[in-house]
Amino acid sequence: MAAALNNKEISAVELTNQHYEQINAVDKDVHAFLYLDKEGALLQAKEVDKKRAAGERLSPLAGVPLALKDVMTQKDVPTTCGSKILENWRPPYDSTVVTKLKDAGVIILGKTNMDEFAMGSSTENSAFGPTHNPWDLTRIPGGSGGGSSASLAAFEAPLAIGTDTGGSIRQPAAVTGTVGVKPTYGGVSRYGLVAFSSSLDQAGPCARTVLDAALLHQVIAGFDPKDSTSINQAVPDVVAATKKLDIKGMKIGVVKQLAGEGYQKGVENKFNEAIAELVKLGAEIIELSCPNFEYALAAYYLIAPSECSSNLARFDSIRFGLRVGDDKVKSAEEVMNLTRQAGFGREVKRRIILGTYALSSGYYDAYYGSAQKVRTLIKQDFDNAFAKCDVLVSPTAPTTAFKIGEKSNDPLAMYLNDIATIPVNMAGIGGMSLPCGLAEEDNLPVGFQIMSPAMKDDRMYLVGGALEAALLSKWGKPILDFAPKLVGSK
């Protein structure tokens, strides 16, 4: 697409309009988008076309459209985080990611659906209705970034931004047959990312190919003085790594704990077939043990709710967002209570309560304190593993996309879907999911996860790029070409 733009075979305006046509045709079924900024996008596209016509040097992605997860602030464009409490809130500032996208000439089509405040694995927790998986509209597109990944699978956008706190980029990528990358924590600025769990949140690229993801990664990554936790180091050259396609002699570790019980047969089969491809490419496979991973989920569900209980305290009706019950008689405290009661959904309330409890005096050491210790142990597991291999791999999610409604009344079953993705967030390292085939039981995509050490993101792109090329030649066509055609799709 970038090449076609560059060769002036198509203009940015035309490309943008084509994507809006596709959105108009299919989004009533998919519901990937919460808001379309057609006016803003076309203005941006015109600007890019003008610059290109004037012969200006443009970034490789200039003119390429993108879908933005609705958790990222974009100046004057509604940012809801999938919550009633922020309905109609228009932020007065751009997130750093959006600033970088705009600077690169990337066209922001609109804001995508998500689980409320990124809490969920199915996008069913959105206050504005669920997103449907383009592979099977009765199934979930993963979460929390289901809207972003579904928009890619439905060809509504070629690129998307997601955020990943426990797998919210990678698990949706896995169940929609797309690529999703959670960069190293601190690799991409969090300024303007509405926080769910500050020490775990990380924005990253979503795309249909590893190379597209790499190009987008290069645009959004880098040190930001506005984010104290961002890393002041050069961004690894992930584009060059993706293009290398040579993994001969690389040591790839398979994590013993991320397989077996709870993993769907077809998921394991496709994962093993991909491993066989890696062997064919000359990689050395090592089986490794990360014994503390079994505590990751429990620790995650203490740390993330604890931080969210504090992060979400600011949604109080005073300065922005929803206000309920302000009848000039009720006190500020009553209005705050009523607003939060009406504005937050069940899962968000569940986690706020959980986190408030875990941080309470007398419980702090047992809960938050212990969870932080587990985090250190998980980091040690990764350190030990990376001493023996270059990257680690596992299935991204234990199952393919499940049915909408199937797990919505069973939070624990829902939480288990993130069992393979959470350790990466706990350790702050990088993780990628790319499609590795269709499970034989249900013909739905399976995700292959590659994990690389902190600030060595290029390694997962190297392995991902090589594996993708091998699988593509095996399948003869991109995996999304196997998906059923959506009604009205162009």
Give whichever of 185 and 448 is closer to another protein, judged by the CB atom: 185
- Residues 167 and 147: their CA atoms lie apart, in Å, by 14
Task: Tell me whether residue 144 is one of the annotated catalytic residues.
Answer: yes
CB-side neighbour CA atoms (13 Å) of 444: 27
Six token digits for residue 188: 């991409």
CA 216, 219, 220, 222: dihedral to nearest 10 degrees?
A: 130
State which residue, 226 or 346, has the beta carbon closest to another protein: 226
The yes-or-no answer on residue 69 being catalytic is yes
Of 83-91, 176-184, 242-250, 390-398, the segment contacting another protein by CB under 8 A is 83-91
d(CA 187, CA 172): 21
Q: Which two structure tokens, joined as six digits, stand for 479?
A: 């995996």
CB 313 within 8 A of CB 410: no
CA pair distance 196, 83, nearest whole angstrom: 12
Owner of token pair 């928009």: 151
Distance CA 305, CA 211 (A): 34
- Write down the least CB distance from residue 254 to another protein, Å: 32
Interface with another protein includes 353 (CB under 8 A)? no
Catalytic residue among 83, 144, 148, 197: 144
User: 269-308 mask for another protein (x: CB under 8 A)?
Assistant: -------------------------------------xx-
In the complex, what is the shortest distance from the CB of residue 311 to another protein, in angstroms, rounded to a whole number? 8
Q: Which is nearer to another protein, 6 or 360 (CB)?
A: 360
Among 69, 84, 182, 270, the active-site one is: 69
Burial class (CB in 10 A: 0-12, 13-18, 19+), 117: buried
Catalytic residue list contains 244 = no
Applying CB under 8 A, among 316, 347, 418, 468 the residue interacting with another protein is 316
Q: How far is the CB of 341 from another protein (least distance, A)?
A: 14
What is d(CA 147, CA 153) in angstroms, rounded to the nearest whole number?
10
CA distance 237 to 181: 15
Residue closer to another protein, measured from CB, 16 or 83: 83
Q: Minimal distance in Å, beta carbon 246 to another protein?
A: 37
Q: What is the DSSP letter of 394?
A: E
Residues annotated as catalytic are: 69, 144, 168
Q: Which residues bind another protein (CB under 8 A)?
A: 72-73, 79, 81, 86, 89, 91-93, 95, 190-195, 197-199, 225-229, 306-307, 309-310, 313-316, 318-320, 328, 331-333, 336, 356, 359-361, 364, 368
